[in-house]
Amino acid sequence: MESCWANSRAAYRCRHGHTSASKADPDRPKNLYIREDRILPHLRALWVLLSGSDPAPGTAEVISHLRAGEITLTYDPQSRALQTGTPREVKLTVDRTR
Residue 59 within a domain: yes
Please report, in angstroms and rounded to a whole number, the separation of the first and last CA atoms in the chain.
Answer: 22
- The predicted structure's pLDDT at residue 8: 84
Q: Residue 43 is part of which domain span? A: 2-93
Number of domains making up the chain: 1
- The predicted structure's pLDDT at residue 98: 47
Is residue 57 pLDDT above 90, yes or no?
yes
Lowest-pLDDT range of 35-39, 56-60, 92-96: 92-96
Q: Indicate the pTM of the whole model.
A: 0.67
Residue 73 within a domain: yes
Residue 98 within a domain: no
